[in-house]
Amino acid sequence: MSDGVLHKAMAPLVAPPVFDFWVQKINRTLSWERPLARVVGREVTARGTVTLTLKANRHFRGYAAGQHVPVSVEVDGVRLTRTYSPVTPWQGDRRLAITVREVDGGKVSAALVHALSVGDVVELGPAFGDMVLPDGGASRPWLLVAGGSGITPLMCLARALLAENPSADITLMMWARERADLCFSGTFADLRARHPNLRVLPVLTRESRCLPNELSGRPGAELFAAQVPDIATRAVRACGPWGFVETVSSLLAPIAADFDSECFTPPPRATQAGEAVTVTLLRSERQVQVPAGAPLLESLEEQGVQPAYGCRMGVCNTCVCDKRAGTTEHVYNSEQHAEAGPVRLCVNAARSDITLDL
Amino acid sequence: MKQSKSRPLTREQVDQFGAELDALHTRVRDDLGQHDADYIRRVFAAVRYTEAAGRVLLYCWFLPPLWVLGVLLLGLSKILDNMELGHNVIHGQFDWMNDPYLRGRDWEWDIVATGDNWRETHNFRHHTYTNIKGMDDDIGYGLLRLFPEQRWRPFYLFQPLVAVIFALLFEWGVAIQDLRLGRYFKGKMAPGEMAAAFRPVGRKMRRQMIKDYLVFPLLGGPLFLPILAGNALANIMRSLWTYMIIFCGHFTADVDVFPKSVMNGESRGQWYLRQIRGSSNLRGGKLFHILTGNLSHQIEHHLFPTLPANRYGDIAPEVRAICRRYGVHYNTGSLWLQFGQVIWRILRYSFPSKPVPVNRVRLLAE
């Protein structure tokens, strides 16, 4: 089941679904080609937040600290995918830990936080993301700025830096609403005991009374000046909601030695019918503008794209195409669909910018 | 010549009729979930277990009843794989699950026909142009005359014999359907073009032949021949069953065929109407429906080919009630009644007959 010579030689003879059916009678994480992982640990790490430890099979290729990994689970029969940042660096034991906070109305986060237990299997995807450490980064001073669950990739960066240089100079400022929302309190206590140059500053925005080691307030110039006077010498990485990262970036990017950030993708903006939206075509490496609300097949053809098609009325499934992101709407019943998955181009219209595997 | 059993409707009535069916479709679509996902995975598991059991029992040549059971189980596995699993998954009925292993566009099945050819001839041509003469190749498969609207030729006198051979080799017939050999023999297709079209088909045929008639028999050593025979019988069993079910879907006595002109400005409601008037159902129990791939609910399948087939039985009473309200004939009967009518068509139309008057195919009231 490795991707070696045997795997390649056998490929024409093997039907992967049949192969997986039988080998998964032995072990549910065995697969011909899919990166599956078993939940081997589950720990509640904050209010409504769990850290899951996963053991991946050999089809998962690992990740660099700071990268993100798509995690798929089946919810009510539908395979749904969300991206999480592992909080520990990838090592030889094929384990990764993800910290998941339940989002209001979030189907996947609810499944991961409540329904999943040790022994269950999830599917992973290839890791991605550019906020990774430069070579030799552990010898310079760092400031890591986290908003809410933006802490997760920064946690991984901090651990990777400390693994490389146990006395690395790291200041980590983590924003949360209340104390109960803070993740990793115990972990940080452990780390600080072993790493004297690690400074962890929780900043709370809605807690009525702060403890001596806690700060309060939103990100601001004075707060940073008071807490990190040597900002000009530090490399900064920030992660959090879009607005948070915008603020931090405007304050620190001009004055820090080095600045990089990532934010959670805002949900695609819903558009009015007729408004132009961008369709990103992954295979043909193109972007085209089409009117929202108009059947995609026709709109794409007008832009010179020629998808396969048949009936043009939603019957034959010939024009089905994988949507990777964005909201589409069925033209007959106006139902909107924001999850990734197959869509029939002839009877679906874009309702936001979308990405297609075409 | 008899009239269609459906009464002509006004354009407004046809639109309302279509809207009612659209609403039914949306309601079922919104209700899909774990139950349906579990169902199709159970069918997949049933195919795997019956295949494994059947193949193992074929090695029990020395205990003939077990060998016979092996043939039956392997045949059953191929029938399930063909009908309730393959046919339905290939339609994209389970695409909503977003499971890479249950995607219509990528599915391949245990039959000599390629999934790609099937997607073209069946999903697209047959389901879009259902029962339109000259568009839907399933009308007689270019081999049989089943409707008076098809022009008679002396070749059709041999039709009863041709039909039997076609039934025994049905999976091969389906495999070459998309090649349109008729066009090739008439010189309308260059040899190079035909060779290119045949390549994937040939590859699939070779794969199936090697699997069923070489690898598994060789694994039996001295039992090579009994195992080869068992595989052949299982394949024939599947061909006969699928032929019978599929023919009952569109070639019973009361189904209509249509001229190409029906497509001019055909509304959604008219399209639905044509699907119903061109299809016929089979009555039976739960197991029977599963073995037919729920094509016993041919009418529901043709209305909603992308809805999971395990739902057709649930919505059939509602479809029937809608049809009753609009005076649309809902064609259903037992397998023997419906197949009897198919046999009658095969025999009757091997002889010359006059085409029907136009009003039989009229969809709209004037």
pLDDT in tens, B203-240: 999 999 999 999 999 999 999 999 999 999 999 999 99
Domain boundaries, chain B: 11-361
CATH number 3.40.50.11900 given to A34-124: no
Instruction: Return the structure tokens found at B72.
Output: 């039956």
Closest Cβ opposite residue A316 in set B29, B48, B128: B128
Residue B43 has pLDDT above 60, yes or no: yes
In three-state secondary structure terms, A51 is strand
Burial class (CB in 10 A: 0-12, 13-18, 19+), B55: buried
The values of phi and psi at residue A100, to 5°, are: -120, 125
Closest Cβ opposite residue B124 in set A311, A314, A340: A311
Q: Report the distance separating Cα A175 and Cα A171, nearest Å.
A: 13
pLDDT above 90 coverage of chain B, percent: 86
Is B41 in the A-facing interface, judged by CB distances under 8 Å?
Answer: no
Please answer yes or no on whether B48 and A22 come within 8 Å at the CB atom: yes
CATH of domain A276-356: 3.10.20.30
Is B98 in the A-facing interface, judged by CB distances under 8 Å?
Answer: yes
| Residue B362, pLDDT score | 55
Closest CA to B85 of B337, B309, B252, B340: B309
Chain B residues inside the 8 Å CB shell of A340:
98
Chain B residues inside the 8 Å CB shell of A16:
101
Is B64 in the A-facing interface, judged by CB distances under 8 Å?
Answer: no
| Residue B32, pLDDT score | 97
- HSE (CB half, 13 Å, CA atoms) of B224? 6
CATH for A137-263, among 3.40.50.80, 3.40.50.300, 3.30.565.10, 3.90.226.10?
Answer: 3.40.50.80
Q: Report the distance separating Cα A88 and Cα A157, nearest Å.
A: 8
Instruction: Return the structure tokens found at A238.
Output: 């920030």
Report the relative pairing of strands A354-356 and A320-325 from DSSP bridges.
antiparallel
Q: Which residues of chain A have pLDDT under 50?
A: 1
| Residue A270, pLDDT score | 67
Task: Name B164's Cβ contacts closer than 8 Å, sequence gap at least 6.
Answer: none
Instruction: Return the structure tokens found at B35.
Output: 């139950």
Q: How many residues does chain B have?
A: 366
Q: Report the distance separating Cα B273 and Cα B269, nearest Å.
A: 6
Better-scored residue on pLDDT, B135 or A14: B135
Cβ density class B73-103: b for 16+ within 10 Å, e for less:
bbbbbbbbbbbbbbbbbbbbbbbbbbbbbbb
Q: Judge contact between B284 and B332, C-beta under 8 A.
A: no
| Residue A212, pLDDT score | 86
Equal CATH topology for A137-263 and A276-356: no
Residue B257 has pLDDT above 50, yes or no: yes
Helix ranges (H only) for chain B are 11-31, 34-57, 64-80, 88-90, 115-118, 127-128, 159-168, 170-177, 181-185, 191-210, 216-219, 224-250, 268-277, 286-291, 298-303, 312-326, 335-348
pLDDT in tens, B82-123: 999 999 999 999 999 999 999 999 999 999 999 999 999 999
User: Mutation test of the interface with chain A: which of B102, B105, B107, B208, choosing the one with the most A Cβ atoms within 10 A?
Assistant: B105
Q: Judge contact between A70 and A125, C-beta under 8 A.
A: yes
pLDDT in tens, B159-177: 999 999 999 999 999 999 8
Domain boundaries, chain A: 34-124, 137-263, 276-356
pLDDT category at B300 given cuts 50, 70, 90 is very high
Please answer yes or no on whether A310 and B120 come within 8 Å at the CB atom: yes
pLDDT in tens, B59-81: 999 999 999 999 999 999 999 99
Kindly give the interhelix angle for B64-80 and B34-57, rounded to the nearest 10 degrees: 150
Kindly give the interhelix angle for B170-177 and B224-250, rounded to the nearest 10 degrees: 60
Distances (CA, A) of A202 to A51, A90, A144, A154, A238: 19, 26, 12, 14, 14
| Residue A1, pLDDT score | 44
Chain A residues inside the 8 Å CB shell of B111:
none
The values of phi and psi at residue A51, to 5°, are: -110, 120
Q: Report the distance separating Cα A309 and Cα A293, nearest Å.
A: 19
Q: Judge contact between B326 and B9, C-beta under 8 A.
A: yes
If DSSP states are collapsed to H, E and C, what string results for A234-265?
CEEEEEECHHHHHHHHHHHCCCCCEEEEEECC
Q: Report the distance separating Cα B131 and Cα A344, nearest Å.
A: 24
Mean pLDDT of chain B: 93
| Residue A183, pLDDT score | 84
| Residue B1, pLDDT score | 38
Closest Cβ opposite residue B105 in set A314, A320, A332: A320
Distance of CA B187 to the CA centre of its chain: 29
| Residue B187, pLDDT score | 83
User: Mutation test of the interface with chain B: which of A36, A315, A329, A343, choosing the one with the most B Cβ atoms within 10 A?
Assistant: A315
Per-residue pLDDT, averaged over B198-206, amounts to: 94
